């Protein structure tokens, strides 16, 4: 199942958290669990995070969320960010959190809509060097 990435974060509002994530080439591995899946599904993503990309933690997942999801609220810390999502067309709500340490990060999201949908993602990321030209 292919999900569309949530892209509604304001880059300015995540700047305190984004300063903790160094721009460059990053590897991300995301595990997705949902009822009905026999085991977690895993996907990898290697991407160049620009300064703007480091300020948007929802760009750090190899799996995608429904395209109608929007960030309803966000709380920032010096090395963490958490957010609440609302997906009105899909009739789902969710939340997420991310934390940085050195040149790595971890992120988790949860998205649900009644008893039929309970998607959880866990992402591990690490900076591997400068972006390839």
Q: Indicate whether this model's pTM tops 0.85.
A: no
pLDDT tops 50 at residue 9: no
Residues 6+ apart with CB under 8 A from 29: 42, 43, 44, 45, 62, 123, 124, 125
pLDDT of residue 6: 30
Round to the nearest angstrom and report the end-to-end CA distance of the chain.
32
38, two tokens: 């026999």
Q: Are 115 and 14 in contact (CB under 8 A)?
A: no
Model confidence pLDDT, tens digit, residues 58-108: 677 766 777 788 778 888 888 888 888 888 998 889 898 999 887 899 999
CATH classification code of 15-112+119-128: 2.40.128
- CA–CA gap between residue 40 and residue 43 (Å, rounded): 10
pLDDT tops 70 at residue 119: yes
The domain ranges of the chain are 15-112+119-128
Model confidence pLDDT, tens digit, residues 11-52: 333 444 545 788 999 999 999 998 888 999 999 989 998 888
């Amino acid at each position: 199942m292919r999900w569309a990435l949530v892209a509604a974060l304001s880059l300015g509002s995540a700047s305190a958290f984004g300063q903790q994530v160094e721009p460059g080439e990053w590897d991300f591995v995301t595990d997705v669990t949902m009822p009905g899946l026999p085991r977690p599904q895993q996907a990898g993503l290697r991407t160049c995070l620009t300064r703007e990309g480091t300020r948007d933690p929802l760009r750090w997942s190899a799996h995608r969320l429904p395209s109608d999801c929007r960030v309803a609220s966000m709380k920032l810390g010096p090395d963490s960010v958490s957010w609440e999502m609302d997906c009105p067309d899909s009739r789902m709500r969710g939340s997420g959190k991310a934390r940085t340490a050195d040149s790595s990060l971890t992120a988790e999201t949860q998205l649900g809509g009644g008893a039929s949908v309970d998607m959880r993602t866990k992402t591990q990321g690490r900076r591997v060097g400068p972006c390839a030209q």
